[in-house]
Structure 1
Amino acid sequence: GVVTILMAVLGTVITRFLPFVLFPESKQPPRIVDYLGKVLPYAMTGLLVVYSLKNVRPLSGSHGVPEALAIVVIVALHVWRRNMLLSIAGGTAVYMLLIQTAFA
């Protein structure tokens, strides 16, 4: 119990502070770190889309309608507010509402 908690705390502390130790503000980070900082958000978004839609069967069940409507809401919210957290939260809320009510 206690060892597990201490290991979790240690892992959290290391991952929070190690980047600041390795890449202080006074030092330019390596080019690969800058590159990854630019491309990883898009790669992760693509990964989330693929993972979210991997079990959608257009020819059975709800035919992917809740997923499609949630995607439309995500895109609309993001175009409107340019806030990724709001877009994801809004799309998730719409999807959950649809599968719990209209497509249950």
Structure 2
Amino acid sequence: MNINNEYTIVAILIMAVITFGTRLMPFIFWGKDKVTPKYILYIGNYLPPAIMAMLIIYCLRNVSLHAFPFGIPEAIGIITVAILHIWKRNNLISILSGTIVYMVAVQVIFI
């Protein structure tokens, strides 16, 4: 597939406008003077953990517990993320460190 530069620039601009628009909408609908509806607060509280749970399940769907390395690198990565997140309460540190530990385990230790 041959994609030219104009197509790429237009695609990036459209994505930027849509992303900015989705970030701007709550301020337009529920500004300083308006009360945020309860269902929006409910979604804000419960949707992020639900999405994280789905992402974890999606990432672990092809892990084989019956063949080498038996899911050990994945378990090490998950434990690293959990310990660092409980200790530091910083998403960036825990996810980045867990990813690095997992990649080292897969690429160096469990070859």
Pick the aligned partner of 2:39 from 32, 43, 46: 32
The percent of aligned pairs where both chains have the same amino acid is: 38
Mind listing any 5+ residue stretches in structure 2 that lack a counterpart?
Answer: 1-6
Unaligned runs of 5+ in 1: none
What is the deviation of 1:85? 2.0
Q: Determine the structure 1 residue equivalent to 2:78.
A: 71
Q: Does 1:56 align with 2:63?
A: yes
| Correspondence 1:84 to 2:91 | yes
The alignment's C-alpha RMSD in Å is 1.4
Q: Secondary structure at the match of 1:101?
A: helix
The runs of at least 4 consecutive aligned structure 1 residues that moved more than 4 Å come to none
Distance 1:64 1:81 in 2: 26
Count of aligned positions: 104
SS of 1:55's partner is coil
